């Protein structure tokens, strides 16, 4: 269902995440990007390394709204397995400035 993602910044984020492409992932973010997980702000570099890149993270969008800036997805990685998650993105200058995720 990633075809429901109309925002190019969010699409670039998802594509890079699913490809395990750290360079493309960083390019999708503003230099000062921030994030939260289950309502708690996290260190973006540590969180993405642990939850995405070192654990083969993969995201499958189930339902999207607001051009894909908000969606529910099945997220899986080798640490936690599969779980239903919610994501919200805040875009600035065509890049992800902040994302918030957590269990749905």
d(CA 79, CA 76): 8
| Per-residue pLDDT tens over the stretch 41-96 | 999 999 999 999 999 999 999 999 999 999 999 999 999 999 999 999 999 999 99
| Per-residue pLDDT tens over the stretch 23-50 | 999 999 999 999 999 999 999 999 999 9
2-103 placed in CATH 3.10.450.50: yes
Q: Collect all residues with Cβ–Cβ distance below 8 Å to 3 and sequence separation of at least 6.
A: none
What is the pLDDT, as a whole number, of residue 4?
A: 78
Residue by residue, DSSP assigns 62-95 as: EEEEGGGTEEEEEEEETTTEEEEEEEEEEEETTE
Hey, where are the domains in the chain? Answer: 2-103
């Amino acid at each position: 269902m990633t075809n429901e993602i109309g925002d190019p910044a969010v699409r670039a984020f998802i594509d890079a995440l699913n490809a395990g492409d750290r360079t493309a992932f960083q390019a999708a973010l503003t230099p000062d990007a921030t994030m939260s997980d289950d309502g708690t702000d996290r260190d973006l570099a540590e969180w993405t390394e642990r939850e995405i890149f070192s654990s083969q993270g993969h995201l499958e969008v189930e339902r999207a709204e607001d051009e894909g800036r908000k969606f529910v997805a099945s997220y899986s990685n080798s640490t936690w397995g599969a779980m239903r998650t919610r994501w919200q993105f805040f875009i600035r200058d065509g890049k992800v400035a902040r994302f918030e995720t957590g269990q749905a």
